[in-house]
Structure 1
Amino acid sequence: MIGHLVTSGTFSLDGGTWDVDNNVWLVGDDREVVVIDAAHDPDAIADAVGDRRLTAIVSTHAHDDHIDAAAELADRTGAPILLHPDDRVLWRMTYPDREPDRALADGDELTVAGTTLRVLHTPGHAPGAVCLYVPELGTVFTGDTLFNGGPGATGRSYSDFGLIIDSIRDRLLTLPPETVVRTGHGDGTTIGGEAPHLEEWISRGH
């Protein structure tokens, strides 16, 4: 089953700070669960986990609004924090004295409650951005790589528009069109709903 809560806080990078609402996703059953993107509010996330065993805190990328509750949640539960190593430069802006517990790599498979989450490295919004594809559930958790309406932002440090377009075209739009896209912010969509707009995004980006 898939759980969802929205937490609120700020995102800071390149000298600016913005108010943001983040989607926090939970995948598991009544015994164990993983959290995708521990954002802003460790108390609310811990309440959503409840008495289940938290097997991992998976970070789709290391912008501060996606990881600012990760350390406290990990300390409370003993769950490891997983992050792609290409995002260490961003991670250290929030946690200069603490490393993630495990590295994510493209093609890794994480299993929780008998369900497999497949790691897709999708750089662009951030160098180590990943998506988590769950074929059994017909869904993909895209963090800030793909939203309802287009690619994630690439106007700040460590981002690249060409890379995010490549990632979306080659790693996400190849998924079945009915795949539900569960995003890092805002409403969801489907792969089929976004695929027709690829050329429009490319022309808009240039």
Structure 2
Amino acid sequence: MSDFRIKTYPVGQIGTNCYILYRESLQEAIIVDPGAQGGYLVEKCKELGVMPKAIFLTHGHFDHILGVDEVKRWYPDIKIYAGEHEKMTLMDPSINLSGGFGGGYTLLPDVFLKDGESITLSGITFQVIHTPGHTRGSICFFIADEEVLISGDTLFLESLGRTDFPMGDQSLIIRSIREKLFVLPEDTLVYPGHGDKTTIGHELVYNPVALYRE
């Protein structure tokens, strides 16, 4: 039986799903999208008995990144990973929508990830999938051996991410979902940036992208 675990913590006013992923045998963790409550997530890691080793960002919108600095205050050496095409979003408050938060928030990751790249940290192997549309550099993380997809704000339960924000593109997000996510195994569990989890198989039947005809 796998000792892989994933915990979901909705944080902030928008209820952004933050995820803590770990293997019980290693007691190390990856934090994905630390929303607006970094201290709360640090406490959750302590309760789980795991040490955060990295922060993964699916994209650069404020509700997914505002907790980074607080996590880093507790763990100064923790590295931040983001998609290679997301630098502009992360560094521009008018694009990451943080302009209303004390003049805006910017963030420069330590590592930029490429489409198709595989990275293994804390005993978990992630495949990086570049899924532009919600933002230019949105990425998803596929954990093949656990059949788990962290989809950020690209794919939701019977829905898809908004494209009316800066750098959004509806045709691109539809193509990303169809060509890069809907080809994954149907049993894949999808953990989105907001709302309840789903499966690829369910979305192939009920998601508007599957029904959409150009």
TM norm structure 2 = 0.84
Match status 1:178 vs 2:195: no
Q: Tell me how far apart the structure 2 counterparts of residues 62 and 179 of structure 1 sit (CA, whole Å).
A: 25
User: Residue 7 of structure 1 contacts residue 22 of structure 1 at CA under 8 Å; is this kept in 2?
Assistant: yes
State the partner residue of 1:82. Answer: 81
Q: Tell me how far apart the structure 2 counterparts of residues 58 and 131 of structure 1 sit (CA, whole Å).
A: 10
Aligned residue pairs: how many?
A: 192
Q: Decide which structure has greater strand share.
A: 1
Q: Tell me how far apart the structure 2 counterparts of residues 46 and 106 of structure 1 sit (CA, whole Å).
A: 29
Q: Which runs of 5+ in 1 are unaligned?
A: 10-19
Match status 1:24 vs 2:18: yes
Q: 2:57 aligns with which of 46, 56, 59?
A: 59
Deviations 1:130-186 (A, max 9, x none): 000011211100000000012111112110001001100111000001111100000
Matches within 5 A, 1:1-206: 1-9=5-13, 20-30=14-24, 31-50=27-46, 51-77=49-75, 78-92=77-91, 93=93, 94-96=104-106, 98-196=107-205, 197=207, 198-200=209-211, 202=212
State the partner residue of 1:13. Answer: none
Shift >4 Å, 4+ stretches: none
**Residue 199 of structure 1: how far off its partner (Å):** 4.3
How much is the aligned-residue C-alpha RMSD, in angstroms? 1.6
Question: Residue type matched to 2:154 in 1?
Answer: T
Q: Which runs of 5+ in 2 are unaligned?
A: 94-103
Question: Residue type matched to 1:27 in 2?
Answer: L
Q: Tell me how far apart the structure 2 counterparts of residues 72 and 90 of structure 1 sit (CA, whole Å).
A: 20
TM norm structure 1 = 0.87
Question: Residue type matched to 2:66 in 1?
Answer: D
Q: Identity over the aligned pairs, expressed in percent?
A: 31
